[in-house]
Structure 1
Amino acid sequence: MTSLSAAIRETSLLDATCEDFVYDLVELVPTVGTQIGLDGHDGELQDYSPAFWDAVADRIRDLVQDVEALNDSTDACDDEDDFDDVDRLTAAILRDQMTFELDLHHRGEYLRRLNIIDSPVQTIRDSFALMPKVTPEDFDNIASRMSKVRTALRGYAESLAEAAQTGDVASHRQIDGVISQCEALAEDGSLLERQGLPPESAVVEEAKQAFSEFADWLSTELSPQATHEDGVGRDRYEMFSEFFLGRSIDLDEAYNWAKDELAKTVDEQVQLAHKLYGSDTNVLGAYRQLNEDPRYQVHGTDALMEWMRSVNDEVRSELNGKDLTVPEDLPPVECAIDGAGSGGIFYTPPSDDLLRPGTMWWSVPEGQEVFHTWQELTTVFHEGMPGHHLQIATTLLQRRDLNLWRRSLYWNSGHGEGWALYAEHLMADHGYFDDPGYRMGLLDSRRLRLARVLVDVGVHLKKATPDGIGTWDAQYAKAFLRDNCAMMEANLSFELDRYMGWPGQAPSYAIGYRDWLTLRDKALAEGMDLRRFHDKALRLGSMPMDMLANEVLNH
């Protein structure tokens, strides 16, 4: 079999322009360099001040102008300056993404950005987990970046204060959550003490103190200006939804679709609960009994990691050559425990050169020792194989057609999260959910993703609750989530806070999954077999799903 990375396509002017942009962006945003594995900036840290955000926006504007100029200069002649099909798609994706980034900047969304999952505090914290920790130079870089944490957080405070002057302040829920995260980074046993530097060293203490000072600033300066209102309203929500999906959708239709699909899923779970444990057992009762069943338990984080690795290895062997092609040079997925303890489970991609592995991170809440495989098998498929790891690592191997920006930096949530959810259900065709306990876990995953649509759209748009007797708010949303998933309470609380502070992202899973199913059915109807469909779609890399449909169906 020929490696996907074997063929070489000559670098175009647009490719070179995009690559220059990435290197310039890494100079402005050093944590991006760490994220994608570009050397030279690991010891640096952006300061998050208003001037920083302006500088990033200026460089994006220059990129958009460069792309338009290149596009205008091409003609029908067959010369080296013309856009080929790859360039035309790159330009469309780039134009779509970057104009949206500039709109967000113009609206002040980056100045006000504060939430528990995707804002500067988490970016700073998580960048240390991705930094190399082998050579003396690596540890010098860690020390250097830690020494810049105070400046970064002060710049961030300056941005938040500027946004607050016009009333743009995050909710109390998000501020309180970030305060807790900062305090955890400031206390003894902090994640900062586990980065390979002596825990008592001055630079570690300085970084911990910086997070403590920022927590105090949030508490005394920003929190008094905050609102207890979690919803962002229809206008902002429509904007964020379009950002995550790459297109606007009918939110009310999506809400009603999710409500109908949730009802069908619940009905299937009820029948399965009866099959498992008798006609007097409801779904939550079945969850409890499955949790107590030793067949679906692993004990301790070491056993959890080994189980995750074995599942990924098995899936790689099972799928290759059947429903899809696993590239020969696709590196294996790594599994690790995240020190944040939030209860979240996530994936970090390989570096662009594939030297740093793609990793599944399990953020285990303090005290959790038992893990329930009936519930978590879908998570392994989602984050590892054939989900994010296959998806993202395959994209990284497309060096012939995808420039550095497209393969390592660009990400569309509807495409990415939709594929990972689709990957969970793909494994049902291979018998992984024939066992009724694991089938209950698949349905639990589906139920959660559909419930997310209702929670996210419902709270932010202030829709009527499904029972028709009130309006969605966070309190109702938490009870609704508790009724519609098997999560532990710590995980559930984190999930709720995430939705409240990251509007529009959570529905991208279910909506993206629906888009993948629709596209697959159209491709098969046109005579494409499943393996060819998966291979073609994955090798194109991330993009809005309407663009992907055009590429898959019309070429």
Structure 2
Amino acid sequence: MSDTSAGERPQTEVDRIANDYFDAMVAISPISATTFGIPGHDGELDDLSPAGHAAHSHLRQATLGRLDAARPVDDTDRVTVAAMRERLGLAEEVYAAGYDAMSLNVIASPLQGVRDILDLMPQEGDAAWATIAARVGAIPTALAQYRESLTEAKGRRLVAPQRQVAACLAQIDELTSAHGYFAALTGMAERGGASAGTAARVTDSARAASDAYGDLGRFLRDDLLPVAPAADACGIERYRLMSRYFVGAEVDLEETYRWGQEECDRLDAQMREVAERIRPGASVKEAISLLNDDPAYRLDGKDALRAWMQERADEAVAALADTHFDIPGPVRTIEGMIAPTETGGIYYTGPSDDFSRPGRMWWSVPKGETSFGTWKELTTVYHEGVPGHHLQVAQTVYRSGLLNKWRRLEAWTSGHGEGWALYAERLMAELGFLEDPGHRMGWLDGQSLRAARVVIDIGVHCGFEAPASVGGGDWTYDKAWQFLTAHANQGEAWLRFELDRYLGWPGQAPSYKIGERLWLQLRDEVRRREGDAFDPKAFHRRALDVGGVGLDTLRDAVLGQEKEAVR
């Protein structure tokens, strides 16, 4: 497949507006520039102060004004206009409500962002480490600006819940400990080929960054924690906004809450069937214990884990390319990586614009963990790699002949992206790649966790009545924990972090399962319309070529294309 297979598309006025927005956005967001592989900003960090947030707002407003005056010339333009209005408009609503300034949670706030971006930077050679030293040296200013935003939000009575503040304090303690990230940075630089002078600058920058995180910790403890609300729930009005932001569609929250509970029950029944295949008479938890003890599914050591990830990803590319998917040449390369952090979790980072940095799956191995069970993680490789995030993100990056820079690189909606990744896992099950009982249990267990997220996240934040299985009535932390552990089988530390994540990042966690539901509904609608002519490969190509827009925009785009194809 070539990005010009349908002909090079001339740049339009709408494309210029989108490209201008993207260029201006990365100029004021060095973190975004590095994320998208745009050179020239790697030694800098974003302005996290109220003025920095205002600069993004001004850019969005100016772009929306230009879009109002623009004339789309084709369907690609019309999708761009619809997608940008939806994404930028929602971002403006979030900004106006003050949620940018108050951002503090255990997984996706500036506290994590200014450190996490370092993982995407080249780390081999003296020049690379000189750039890292410069960016680490910028952390004190960035965190001081972040405190300004948190202080402004506090003045508007917008403060993260106590549980989030306390958990972030623990993360700061870990980062700044004698064995934490900043203490280890000099050794990483020396192993990466930094000269003595550069290593010394890394040491100085790391010490200053660690001190700055310490200052942030004191601010959180002394200024925010005393006024932080005890309640975890954000309330239904804020939740409606955040749900639209993360899904890119307005969903019926009460109906979705009921559906989430039904999904949990359905998946529980399927898991019991698989447990019977693993050992007749075994419960789900007994079957999982058997899988954990089975040496056929065990890996020992990080090197073995990384090699296994790479082998499974490469096998998926070979099996799916040219049969179920069009996979361009550069997209056929994906790297399995062990993250330098030890927080737990697996995530994907996209390729740079020129593919000089490939798409990567990262596994952040918790400290002390040396044994890994592959029965539950094969489906995760499909989620993060092919046909999941890697195929979705990297194929869109590749489509420079069709899509403008904003559509290719920045357009991202959690419900679209995470929904696709869950859809990809299900597709691999449908294609027979998860027939092994252990691997099938792993897929179903992951699905069960995502369904439980829907119930807990919507129920807690919107104030809906808790399920009868946990006693009904008002949700509490203990009821949420009871429900989560009844439908998920990961370790306690990992699940405690997950629950904190749901409580501190309202609307994001359900977007996975809701997104999958909407992707499946879209596929079913196209299949219904096309009948015997329906081609899954063509559907995937058509849908992925739209890019990571909101799910309502995706639906309109795909069904509009399908209508034209029928004509």
TM-score, normalised with respect to structure 1:
0.95
Q: Which residue of 2 aligns with 1:61?
A: 61
1:230-284 deviation per Cα after TM superposition (whole angstroms, max 9, x unaligned):
11111111110011111211011011111112111111211222232222x2111
After TM superposition, the structure 1 = structure 2 runs for residues 12-51 of structure 1, keeping only pairs within 5 Å, are 12-51=12-51
Which one of the candidate residues 529, 538, 546 is aligned to 1:540?
A: 546
Distance 1:277 1:331 in 2: 38
Give the superposition deviation at 1:546: 2.4
Is contact 1:478-1:496 (8 Å) kept?
Answer: yes
Task: Please give the per-residue CA displacement for 1:305-364, whole angstroms capped at 9, x wherever unaligned.
Answer: 111111111111111222222223314111111232221111111111111111111111
User: Counterpart of 2:381 in 1: which secondary structure?
Assistant: helix
Please report how far the alpha carbon of residue 92 of structure 1 lies from its aligned counterpart in structure 2 after TM superposition.
Answer: 0.6
Aligned position for 1:253 = 255
Measure, in 2, the Cα distance between the counterparts of 1:159 and 1:494: 25
Asked if 1:236 is matched to 2:238, the reply is yes
The C-alpha deviation readout for 1:441-493, integer Å capped at 9, x for no partner, is 11111111111100101111122221143322222212221121121222111
Give runs of aligned pairs for residues 1-400 of structure 1, distance below 5 A. Answer: 2-5=1-4, 7-70=7-70, 74=71, 83-192=73-182, 193-194=184-185, 196=189, 198=199, 201-279=203-281, 281-400=282-401
**CA positional deviation for 1:58:** 0.8
In structure 1, distance between residues paired with 2:118 and 2:559: 42
Residue 135 of structure 1 and its aligned partner are, at CA, apart by 4.7
Corresponding position of 1:456: 457
- Aligned partners of 2:203, 2:448: CA distance in 1, in Å? 47
Alignment counterpart, residue 531 of structure 1, candidates 509, 534, 537: 537
SS of the residue 1:470 aligns to: coil
For 1:54 and 1:553, how far apart are their aligned partners in 2?
Answer: 37
Residue 372 of structure 2: SS of its match in structure 1? strand
Counterparts of 2:173 and 2:410, CA distance in 1: 31
SS of the equivalent of 1:117 reads: coil
Aligned residues: 543
Unmatched tracts of structure 1, length 5 or more: 75-81
Matched letter for residue 507 of structure 2: G
Q: Indicate conservation of the 8 Å contact 1:456/1:504, yes or no.
A: yes
Give the distance between the partners of 1:337 and 1:372, measured in 2 at CA.
16
Classify the secondary structure of the residue corresponding to 1:553: helix
Aligned to 1:516: 519
Partners of 1:68 and 1:272 in 2: CA distance: 54
CA distance in structure 1 between the partners assigned to 2:428 and 2:203 by the alignment: 48
Q: Determine whether 1:499 maps to 2:498.
A: no
Which whole-Å CA distance do the structure 1 matches of 2:156 and 2:484 have between them? 34
Say whether the 8 Å CA contact 1:112–1:168 is kept in structure 2. Answer: yes
CA contact (8 A) 2:87 2:550 kept: no
Structure 1: distance between partners of 2:329 and 2:206? 42
Distance 2:390 2:38 in 1: 20
Q: State the alpha-carbon separation in 1 of the partners of residues 114 and 79 from structure 2.
A: 33
Offset from partner CA, 1:477-515 (integer Å, 9 cap, x none): 122211211212221111111111111011111111111
- Greater alpha carbon shift after TM alignment, 12-21 vs 192-201: 192-201
Counterpart residue type for residue 537 of structure 1: A
Asked if structure 1 preserves the Cα contact closer than 8 Å seen for 2:28 and 2:47, the reply is no
Alpha-carbon separation, structure 2, partners of 1:12 and 1:191:
46
Contact (CA 8 Å) 1:120, 1:156: kept in 2 or not? yes
Kindly indicate whether the alpha-carbon contact (under 8 Å) linking 2:429 and 2:435 is maintained by their aligned counterparts in 1. yes
User: Residue 4 of structure 2 contacts residue 402 of structure 2 at CA under 8 Å; is this kept in 1?
Assistant: no
Aligned partners of 1:357, 1:191: CA distance in 2, in Å?
Answer: 24
The whole-number CA distance in structure 2 between the counterparts of 1:64 and 1:36 is 22
Deviation at 1:11, TM superposition (A): 1.6
Aligned partners of 1:204, 1:448: CA distance in 2, in Å?
37
Query: Helix, strand or coil: the match of 1:330?
Result: helix
Q: Helix, strand or coil: the match of 2:299?
A: strand
Q: Does the alignment pair 1:469 with 2:468?
A: no
1:35–1:130 contact (8 Å) kept in structure 2: yes
Match of 1:77 in 2: none
Q: CA deviation at 1:5?
A: 4.7
**Contact 2:44 2:138 (8 Å CA) reproduced:** yes
* Contact 1:230/1:473, CA 8 A, preserved across alignment: no
The 1:431–1:205 alpha-carbon spacing in structure 2 relative to 1, beyond 3 Å, is: same
Name the amino acid aligned to 1:68.
Answer: D
Q: Distance in 1 between matches of 2:440 and 2:300?
A: 22
Q: Quick check: 1:331–1:354 contact (8 Å CA) kept in 2?
A: no
Task: Give the structure 1 partner of residue 194 of structure 2.
Answer: none
Between the aligned partners of 2:472 and 2:517, the Cα distance in structure 1 is 30
Tell me if the contact between 1:3 and 1:329 (Cα under 8 Å) persists in the aligned partners: no
Whole-Å separation in 2 of the counterparts to 1:24 and 1:134: 29
Q: Which amino acid is the alignment partner of residue 329 of structure 2? A: E
Secondary structure of residue in 2 paired with 1:445 = helix
> What are the Cα deviations for residues 8-46 of structure 1, in whole angstroms up to 9, with x where unaligned?
222222212222222211221111111111111111112
Tell me, in whole angstroms, the C-alpha distance in 1 between the residues paired with 2:434 and 2:134: 48
Amino acid paired to 1:427: M
SS in structure 1 at match of 2:331: coil
TM-score (structure 2 length as normaliser): 0.93
2:330–2:355 Cα contact (<8 Å) kept: no
Partner in structure 2 of residue 78 of structure 1: none
The CA distance in 1 between the partners of 2:535 and 2:69, in whole Å, is: 40
For 2:497, give the aligned amino acid: F
